[in-house]
Structure 1
Amino acid sequence: MSYKPGFFNGPDAVVSAIDLNNLLLDTDSYKHSHYRQYKPGTQFVSSYVEARTANGAIDYTVFFGLQIELAKLQGEVVTEQAIAEATPFLRAHGLEPAVDAWRRIQTRHNGRLPVQIDALPEGTVTGLRTALMRITNTDPEFYWLPTFLETRLLRSIWYPSTVATNSLSTLREIARRMQITDGNADGVELKLHDFGARGTTSFEAAGIGGCAHLVASRGTDTISGLVYARNFYGADMAGYSIPASEHSTMTSWGGEAGELDAMANMLQQFPDGVVACVSDSYDLFRALGDYWGDTLKEQVLARKNGFLVVRPDSGNPCEILPSAIEALGEKFGFTETSTGYRLLNDKIRVIQGDGVTPQSIIDIMQALMNHKLAIGNVAFGMGAGLLQKLDRDTFGFAMKASAVCINDTWMDVFKAPATSVAGLKASRPGRLAVVKPEPGIYETVRLEDLGSRQDQLETVFKDGTVTRIHPFEEVRSRASTEYDDMMNAKAQGRWSGTR
């Protein structure tokens, strides 16, 4: 279906709007010149995607998100209308597209892309330099098509995989410290909440990134992520939220003089379950001690099937959060966990949503532990740090051609720049496969060296048809299991991280 928003759609428009779903226009400009650049006799090109660099201490990635793009690439995506629309547009841009070739895809293949895409199962956790996806054309006339699709395919992998990896890593860091301070990690899946929708660049980015976060978490305020999880992975309801206030609702009750009434209203409107209330509109510690801890204390303690979550939203969280929990503890009391840390009365908790990043969460948890405060006292809401403060270089994602078939003979393709720092820009040669010699360990090998071993790259797309769909719960289960397998392999000294 064409998608032409804008102000230039009518019959009197000076220029006509372009279909935003036109496949010929969803690539880098220079790709339209590459069909002329391959060696004569080229029949097939094989390319792959990998992550090349660690993100701090995170030396692995969670593969996720390709399935969303495959749903968009299936079926008839090359139409005469798309070709007719793109051709003059690209010529005006300075390029001469392969018009005849695109028309042959439309007529010979019914507009369906003659490529085969093989990929690891979504949710797979691998070390760096592992081939995550492989693409090869299936019709020798269209040898240039795998690299033409690089822009879309790489984008569809690096962003959600990066979000999913950071989210899983952060939740596991929270779980590890909960085991130390609480004696268990119960409810950890709700300890990292997605606050990132407004900080992304688009609804689509929020949907893809928000969906990726939910591979590890169950907490989100990014509704588009839930929509993507349902539409592309079959999840009925992938995440949950609660009623919560913001500063506009709290300060609209008459400023500082009306704050107590605004807080009382929150308890009256939402008497059961979990409810969150921002409490730093004016004086946080007055709100903690006098309002929640005194005037409204009995209403807080009388809540059924849930608790009040207090949200500080300013200041240095490593200082404010321990002090806030201590202040609440003076009013509501603490219990001592089996490991000797203090946990608030189960009717009240705290959420930190300001200035939260994967690293700041670790710093905040350390500050709490220094005060002998259990991590179970707090949840975290992450916005830009979750969905926006990252890029393709966070894990060094790249897609490269690794082999070409010329006159029926396969040849290696690779680059090894002498000026590359630590060889990070070098690419792998040959047609690639991935083997799994033992749980938690993946190794990239040449396809001809596969032998009797099973290639972990399974066909997910061929000639315009999606051939494998990974349901969301399967992806979640795989990510959790494979993370544990990886950590066991690391603990036993069997995991190198790059193979």
Structure 2
Amino acid sequence: MSLKINPLHAIDFYKADHRRQYPVGTEYVYANFTPRSSRLAKMLPDFDDKLVFFGLQGFIQHFLIETWNEGFFQQDKHKVVAAYKRRMDNALGIDAIPVDHIEALHDLGYLPLKIKALPEGSRVNMRVPLLTVVNTLPEFFWLTNYIETVLSAELWKPCTTATIAYEYKRLLTQYALKTGADLAFVPVQAHDFSSRGMSGIYDAAQASAGHLTSFIGTDAILAIDYMEEYYQAADVVGVSVPATEHSVMCMGTEDDELTTFRRLICDLYPSGIVSIVSDTWDFWRVITEFSVALKAEILARTPNAMGLAKLVFRPDSGDPVKIICGDPEAAVASPAYKGAVECLWEIFGGTTTTLGYKVLNERVGLIYGDSITLQRAQAILIGLEAKGFASSNLVFGIGSYTYNYLTRDTFGFAVKATWGQVNGSARELFKDPITDSGIKKSAKGLLRVEQSVAGFELFDQQTAVQEQQGELKTVFENGQFLQQCNLAQIRNRLELALAAATVTT
């Protein structure tokens, strides 16, 4: 997945000459990457203000190692330096940016940086650094904040999508427990549909990998590749099912829609799960007429090796709460008034959980994937509970409406330098704008993070000895990746956090 770019160019222009702007004699620059606030995050009211840390390992391998090696260190020095000089000359003026430091870096042959980080899959309090970075050789002090642009751009999104995914899982687990639904269903109950709406295909792979930290349901094939490539994913990474789209249904024609359903159910997919988009024309006709006409064939479906034989109806437009749970403003006793779940129950029946909530016959189900948010998902779950249905009667399709309506400011991510050394003398750095609300106030000096009862806790203004202690561990140093984790470990950390949150609830 390596992007064929010159990594020297993965900066904002203003970074290019900071090397000369620092005081003469600068030797070390020490910075951190921290989520500062969830003020703009659209979380549920019981959100505990903790973020899931995910994405650093992929960034280190893909960018700091693969891209720097392929795009710089393994390139002809004169060619790659000339390309950098041309870019700077054309934009900032002839010889505006000297290139001797770039030549020296190429001669060195690796990135003289050290990154310390918390374990990926950790849930971290706001205003606590996820990682720190410092140069390891004094002549390359300029590198620390030179990589700020790409570090921020590559990390904020995976952390954000992983956090949102965790919140979906927490919500679904909460309602599974309330209604007695099968907890084993939760990992597939939120299905990632976001790829087509992301900011490019690499963003789709990387951001959708965040979804896979909490769920296995996904249509993002590249996210599975990403997890296998960079997170040693060996178990079940992601799963999906055969499914139609509107073009398939339209090609079969409206007059022959029932035939299309029958062909899909009986000829193409007589066993396992098949998901059929059902609102190309009249969703309520599909739910109340076609399902009756095909009831015998649906019930006669053959289980596959995993014991599954389900037809999943997929509404794809309208108000999801009303369509699933019923519209109180519709004509009394009409399908729209009852809602899709109640209509299917009347036709196919089902079972009840130990807590008395209804579960549709195992041969039928529903998935809704149009503009689902945490708030809409919660409203649907509340509606199902109120009607006496278990939460497991529906799968939620999570798309780009959730996973791409985001910015770096969703959790206030920032890279800030808090310590440096000039001519052998340490300097504690910090910012505290008088015109700001306090969100932008930075930590100060060397940093240490410890685990406490309330979660990870930051201690700033540390000594060099204290900075070596705590939960931030060296994962990258001098071009080498030192400490790897895998997807199973990340998922396990999140499962433990979820179990603790469930007990608390």
- TM-score w.r.t. structure 2 length? 0.89
Matched position secondary structure for 1:126:
strand
Q: Which ranges of structure 1 fall in alignment gaps of 5 or more residues?
A: 4-19, 492-499
CA drift of 1:384 comes to: 0.9
2: distance between equivalents of 1:325 and 1:291? 15
| Closer, same or farther: CA 162–98 of 1 in aligned 2, 3 Å | farther
Please list, as runs of the form range in 1=range in 2, the aligned pairs for 1:7-46 lying within 5 A after superposition.
20-46=4-30
2:64 alignment counterpart: 73
CA drift of 1:451 comes to: 4.8
The aligned amino acid for 1:102 is I
1: distance between equivalents of 2:313 and 2:466? 59
Matched position secondary structure for 2:254:
helix
1:437 alignment counterpart: 452
Please list, as runs of the form range in 1=range in 2, the aligned pairs for 1:269-280 lying within 5 A after superposition.
269-280=268-279
Matched position secondary structure for 1:355:
coil
2:360 alignment counterpart: 344
Are the counterparts in 2 of residues 251 and 258 from structure 1 also a CA contact under 8 Å? no
CA drift of 1:85 comes to: 1.0
Please list, as runs of the form range in 1=range in 2, the aligned pairs for 1:170-185 lying within 5 A after superposition.
170-185=168-183
CA drift of 1:334 comes to: 3.5
1:17 alignment counterpart: none
| Closer, same or farther: CA 262–282 of 1 in aligned 2, 3 Å | same
CA drift of 1:302 comes to: 1.3
Are the counterparts in 2 of residues 167 and 386 from structure 1 also a CA contact under 8 Å? no
CA offsets 1:348-373 (integer angstroms, 9 cap, x no match): 11101112122211122122222222
The aligned amino acid for 1:389 is Y
The answer on 1:116 being equivalent to 2:114 is yes
CA offsets 1:222-259 (integer angstroms, 9 cap, x no match): 11111111111121451000001111111211x21111
CA offsets 1:374-406 (integer angstroms, 9 cap, x no match): 111001001113321111111111110011111
2: distance between equivalents of 1:102 and 1:45? 18
CA drift of 1:452 comes to: 10
2:189 alignment counterpart: 191
CA offsets 1:203-225 (integer angstroms, 9 cap, x no match): 10011011111000000001111
Are the counterparts in 2 of residues 459 and 467 from structure 1 also a CA contact under 8 Å? yes
Please list, as runs of the form range in 1=range in 2, the aligned pairs for 1:394-405 lying within 5 A after superposition.
394-405=410-421
What is the aligned-residue identity percentage?
33
1:250 alignment counterpart: 249
The aligned amino acid for 2:361 is N
Which stretch of the first structure deviates more once superposed, 131-140 or 47-56?
47-56
| Closer, same or farther: CA 290–458 of 1 in aligned 2, 3 Å | same
Are the counterparts in 2 of residues 434 and 456 from structure 1 also a CA contact under 8 Å? yes
CA drift of 1:185 comes to: 2.0
Match of 2:427 among 411, 434, 437: 411
1: distance between equivalents of 2:502 and 2:283? 41
1: distance between equivalents of 2:28 and 2:365? 59
The aligned amino acid for 1:100 is D
Matched position secondary structure for 2:272:
coil
Which stretch of the first structure deviates more once superposed, 223-232 or 300-309?
300-309
CA drift of 1:26 comes to: 0.5
Are the counterparts in 1 of residues 170 and 498 from structure 2 also a CA contact under 8 Å? no
Match of 2:220 among 219, 222, 238: 222
The answer on 1:354 being equivalent to 2:370 is yes
Are the counterparts in 2 of residues 182 and 376 from structure 1 also a CA contact under 8 Å? no
1: distance between equivalents of 2:386 and 2:405? 28
Please list, as runs of the form range in 1=range in 2, the aligned pairs for 1:20-419 lying within 5 A after superposition.
20-54=4-38, 55=41, 56=43, 57=45, 58=47, 59-71=49-61, 72-74=63-65, 76=69, 77-78=72-73, 79=75, 80=77, 81-94=79-92, 96-107=96-107, 109-110=108-109, 112-236=110-234, 237-253=236-252, 255-268=253-266, 269-292=268-291, 294-303=292-301, 304=303, 305-306=307-308, 307-322=310-325, 323-419=339-435
Which stretch of the first structure deviates more once superposed, 301-310 or 447-456?
447-456
1:495 alignment counterpart: none
Are the counterparts in 1 of residues 447 and 467 from structure 2 also a CA contact under 8 Å? no
The aligned amino acid for 1:445 is F
The aligned amino acid for 1:152 is V
The aligned amino acid for 2:496 is T
Matched position secondary structure for 1:220:
coil
* RMSD between superposed Cα atoms in Å: 2.0
Are the counterparts in 1 of residues 448 and 467 from structure 2 also a CA contact under 8 Å? no
2: distance between equivalents of 1:400 and 1:233? 27
1:477 alignment counterpart: 492
1:7 alignment counterpart: none
Matched position secondary structure for 2:60:
helix
2: distance between equivalents of 1:29 and 1:209? 26
Matched position secondary structure for 2:432:
coil
Q: Which ranges of structure 2 fall in alignment gaps of 5 or more residues?
A: 326-338
Are the counterparts in 1 of residues 33 and 131 from structure 2 also a CA contact under 8 Å? yes
Are the counterparts in 2 of residues 435 and 453 from structure 1 also a CA contact under 8 Å? no
| Closer, same or farther: CA 394–452 of 1 in aligned 2, 3 Å | closer
| Closer, same or farther: CA 450–444 of 1 in aligned 2, 3 Å | farther
- TM-score w.r.t. structure 1 length? 0.90
CA drift of 1:143 comes to: 1.1
Which stretch of the first structure deviates more once superposed, 179-188 or 375-384?
179-188
